């Protein structure tokens, strides 16, 4: 009997045989081999696609380096460039909103310190308000770049 590895077993003695298309295989074995080949190709294609998307998403979306954002702002020419800038500003918006919440919590904590901590509480309130204002400005900048990207996409489609 011939197994999938091309080994012929005759009365308990195994002999090596080169497996090729001319080798006699049962219909069931052929189907199994075909399914394995298809499954392998699907697996390789899936892994390749996932890897490609993963790598491209890191390149096309993330702009965390301050020097990189400066260069991108100076050279932005495509809708994709402006979307990268939008993402950067939205990250900054989120960061500043978290900072504002942190300073609000700190101001509440300083209330427990009584009159001696009132100056610290006032500073935290001020920092919270400034952080909220900064977040608002970042968001406005993101909205403007989003508008630019949409205008460029609309212009390209016409």
**pLDDT lower than 70: segments of the chain:** 1-25, 43-46, 48-49, 51-65, 158
Verify that 42 and 57 share a domain, yes or no.
yes
Written in H, E and C, the secondary structure of 87-102 is: HHHHHHHHHHHHHHHH
Question: Does residue 20 sit in the same domain as residue 72?
Answer: no
Q: Count how many domains the chain has.
A: 2
> Residue 44 belongs to what domain range?
7-61
Q: How far apart are CA 58 and CA 46, in angstroms?
A: 19
Q: Identify whether 80 is part of a domain.
A: yes
2: DSSP letter: B
Whether residue 1 is contained in a domain is answered as no
**2 belongs to a structural domain:** no
Q: What is the pLDDT of residues 2-36, one digit of tens each?
A: 555 555 555 555 555 555 555 556 777 778 778 88
84 and 150 together in one domain: yes
| Cα distance between residue 87 and residue 58, in whole Å | 12
* Neighbour-count burial for 85-115, b at 16+ CB within 10 Å, e otherwise: bbbbbbbbbeebbebbeebbebbeebeeeee
Residue 56 lies in a domain: yes
């Amino acid at each position: 009997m011939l197994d999938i590895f091309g080994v012929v077993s005759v009365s308990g003695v195994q002999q090596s045989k080169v497996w090729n298309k001319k080798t006699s295989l049962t219909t069931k074995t052929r189907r199994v081999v075909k399914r394995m080949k298809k499954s392998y190709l699907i697996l390789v294609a899936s892994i390749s696609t996932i890897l490609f998307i993963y790598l491209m998403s890191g390149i096309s979306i993330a702009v965390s380096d301050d020097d990189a954002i400066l260069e991108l702002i100076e050279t932005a020419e495509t809708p994709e460039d402006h979307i990268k800038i939008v993402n950067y500003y939205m990250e900054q918006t989120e960061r500043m909103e978290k900072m504002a919440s942190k300073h609000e919590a700190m101001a509440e904590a300083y209330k427990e310190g009584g009159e001696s901590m009132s100056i610290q509480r006032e500073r935290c309130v001020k920092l919270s308000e400034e952080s909220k204002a900064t977040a608002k400005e970042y968001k406005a900048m993101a909205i403007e770049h989003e508008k630019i990207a949409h205008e460029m996409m609309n212009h390209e489609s016409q």
